[in-house]
Structure 1
Amino acid sequence: MKTDTLFTKPISKQFEFDADVAAVFDDMLIRSVPFYKESQSLTRRFALNALEKGGIVYDLGCSTASLLLEIERSIDERSAIRLIGIDNSAAMIEHARKKIEAYGSGIELYEGDILSFPYEKAQVIVSNYTLQFIRPMLRDTLVRTISDALDEGGVFIFSEKVVSEDPKLNKELIDCYYDFKKVQGYSEYEIVQKREALENVLIPYTMNENILMAKNSGFKTCEVLFRWANFATFIAIK
């Protein structure tokens, strides 16, 4: 796994999921997302709870397919579960393909737009730190599309960076997060560089805004499975 050193030099463009990011993405996630493995473990557990024989799981913004590989390792080969990853980054899909070939995996991968993908009816849809990169005017539409693509009783599990409704607390949450990144080996300079690269690219909602968005899009329940400071994992049930 290649170490993330992308922001040790001055940035020249806004953040995008290009070949440079894809090459270090697995390391970036572990070092940039607090309790990432624990959150992924919860996602896998609740996804498996919702799956039945012959069901479909979609991972929207699947990046390098790490979560789908974890789910695949936990299911019976005879269950005929289809695991489908979608990402609009050709570089991410390329890295994911290398992984699934190395593991002899049956995961299906598609380079495409999650806003217009022709979804089949699914039991589980997952989205890890993906909605926050969708423009707010399109985000509600995407979540409605996700709801429509799920079977009754199906689940949508999504992780997002969140903001607080209280400005003072929000600053404290951000400071807490930056301290976490420093412990992971990122310098103050790298943290500032990445923050500037993500400005107006990553647009987070509050916890309540995420829950309301899900409920307004056809989900009967939406709750928080896990939260650490300004990172949260939600489960919405149709």
Structure 2
Amino acid sequence: MQKSDTLFASPLSSVADFRFDETVAEVFPDMIQRSVPGYQSIINTIGELAAAKVQPNTTVYDLGCSLGAASLAVARATQDIPCNIIGIDNSEAMTNRCKRIIQSFSLPTPIEVNCQSAQDTEIDNASMVIMNFTLQFIPPADRENLLLKIFNGLVPGGILVLSEKIRHPSVAGNELLVDLHHQFKRQNGYSELEVSQKRAALENVMLTDTFAEHEARLKAVGFSDVVMWFKCYNFTSMVAIKHAQETAGE
């Protein structure tokens, strides 16, 4: 039975930085559905993208796989495409629970789950890389090098699916989107206290970029085509495509 997220329901004397520990892993499915607008639509579309773009005898990397929702969507969508699926997360609590969840399914394509950072993961012969709300937790100084490694590890025609919470470039516009998102969370049963304490916990660990910054960085490492396919409030998902003729840094 899915456990409800009540991690920030009681007043805290001091709010520690957010960590993907065992307490978060235990309530993560409820937390993500109630906190991220369109999350299930994003997961479903990752499966559709996998069916269209995963190439035979290549690898799919799910960087920041958490409990494996995106990896499972890919596995179900690629039943007739021989490929490898590798889930990566630097939280041992997440990967341990992810492995148990995956083992409960009978999958045509097995999923390998490893506990390590995205920065330490080698990307090779990939036709699809997924970063579903992961890059925002990577130190800003590491982001471009990580994306360059992903670009270099993709085969021609490969794609990067990048979902992120973004920052609007104007203060007023950003405040509007933040207010709408907080109202979304209230409508999903979170109290004012929970919204406030969760925001404080994330303040130092989730450092967001604007869409323009994401697009510029992706193009700087070599992707010429960046398609925003989803946006709701300050949440977006985009697909960066490595065309056949592209090389790093073009």
| TM-score (norm. length: structure 2) | 0.92
Other-structure match for 1:169: 173
- C-alpha separation between the residues in 2 aligned to 1:79 and 1:206? 35
Other-structure match for 1:18: 21
Aligned residues: 237
- C-alpha separation between the residues in 1 aligned to 2:98 and 2:120? 21
Matches within 5 A, 1:1-238: 1-9=2-10, 10=12, 12-76=15-79, 78-105=80-107, 106-238=110-242
1:3-31 deviation line (CA, Å, top 9, x unaligned): 11111121542101111111111111100
Contact 1:55 1:82 in 2 (8 A): yes
1:120 to partner: Cα distance: 2.1
1:79 to partner: Cα distance: 2.6
1:135 to partner: Cα distance: 1.1
1:235 to partner: Cα distance: 0.4
Contact 2:54 2:81 in 1 (8 A): no
1:149-191 deviation line (CA, Å, top 9, x unaligned): 1111210001000111111111010000000000000000000
**What secondary structure does 2:66 align onto?**
coil
Contact 1:63 1:93 in 2 (8 A): yes
**What secondary structure does 2:158 align onto?**
strand
Contact 1:174 1:230 in 2 (8 A): yes
What's the Cα RMSD here?
1.1
- C-alpha separation between the residues in 2 aligned to 1:192 and 1:159? 23
**What secondary structure does 2:56 align onto?**
coil
| TM-score (norm. length: structure 1) | 0.96
Contact 1:128 1:158 in 2 (8 A): yes
Structure 1 spans left out of the alignment, 5+ residues = none
- C-alpha separation between the residues in 1 aligned to 2:81 and 2:138? 33
**What secondary structure does 2:27 align onto?**
helix
